[in-house]
Amino acid sequence: MKGRGGRGDRSPLGTWFWDIDRVLLLLTLFLIAIGLLAVAAASPASARRYSGEAHQIAPLYYFWRQLMWVGVSLPVLVATSMLPVALARRLALTGAAIFVALLALTPLIGVEVNGARRWIGVGFAQFQPSEFLKPMFIVSVAWLLSLKAKDEELPTVLITGGATGLVAMLLMLQPDFGQTIIFCLVWMALLMIAGTPTKVMAGLAAMVPVGLVAAYFFYGTARNRIDAFLFPDVEGVGAGDHFQTDAAHRTLTSGGWTGTGPGSGNAKFGLPEAHTDYIFSVIGEEFGLLACSVIALVFLAIVVRVFVKLLDEQDEFRLLAAAGLATQFGAQALVSMAVNTGLAPSKGMTMPFISYGGSSMVALSVGMGLLLAFTRRNPFLTRSPYVVRWSGR
76-122 confidence digits (pLDDT tens) = 999 999 999 999 999 999 999 999 999 999 888 878 776 678 888 76
Q: What confidence score (pLDDT) does residue 228 get?
A: 65
pLDDT for residue 376 is more than 60: yes
Alpha carbon distance 21, 27 (integer Å): 10
360 vs 11, residue with greater confidence: 360
- Measured torsion, CA atoms of residues 140, 142, 146, 151, in degrees rounded to the nearest 10: 50
Confidence of residue 195 (pLDDT cuts 50, 70, 90): confident
Closest residue by Cα to residue 177 from 205, 218, 120, 138: 218
Alpha carbon distance 345, 225 (integer Å): 6
Q: What confidence score (pLDDT) does residue 389 get?
A: 37
pLDDT for residue 196 is more than 90: no
**Which range has the worst mean pLDDT, 180-194, 215-229, 276-290, 350-364?**
215-229
Alpha carbon distance 130, 322 (integer Å): 19
Alpha carbon distance 47, 61 (integer Å): 7
Confidence of residue 16 (pLDDT cuts 50, 70, 90): confident
pLDDT for residue 40 is more than 90: yes
Confidence of residue 216 (pLDDT cuts 50, 70, 90): confident
- Give the containing element (helix H, strand E) for 119: strand 116-119
Q: What confidence score (pLDDT) does residue 385 get?
A: 39
The alpha carbon of residue 382 and the mean position of all alpha carbons in its chain are separated, in whole angstroms, by 28
Alpha carbon distance 275, 332 (integer Å): 16
Mean pLDDT for all residues in the chain: 84
Alpha carbon distance 28, 73 (integer Å): 12
pLDDT for residue 245 is more than 80: no
* Residues whose CB is less than 8 angstroms from the CB of residue 11 and which lie 6 or more positions away in sequence, other chains included: 4
Beta pairing partners, 112:
117
Alpha carbon distance 36, 22 (integer Å): 21
| Residue % of the chain over a pLDDT of 90 | 47
Kindly report the number of other CB atoms within 10 A of residue 324's CB atom: 29
Sign of CA dihedral 40, 115, 111, 330: negative
**Which range has the worst mean pLDDT, 69-73, 135-139, 172-176, 325-329?**
172-176
N-terminal to C-terminal alpha carbon distance within the chain: 33
Sequence spans of domains, the chain: 12-50+57-391
Confidence of residue 19 (pLDDT cuts 50, 70, 90): confident
- Measured torsion, CA atoms of residues 116, 122, 123, 125, in degrees rounded to the nearest 10: -110
Query: Model-level pTM?
Result: 0.87
118: DSSP letter: E
Q: Are 245 and 218 in contact (CB under 8 A)?
A: no
Alpha carbon distance 19, 62 (integer Å): 35
* Residues whose CB is less than 8 angstroms from the CB of residue 13 and which lie 6 or more positions away in sequence, other chains included: none
Q: What confidence score (pLDDT) does residue 230 get?
A: 64
Q: Are 333 and 277 in contact (CB under 8 A)?
A: no
Asked whether the bond before 175 is cis by omega within 30 degrees of 0, the reply is yes
The whole-number average pLDDT for the span 157-165 is: 93
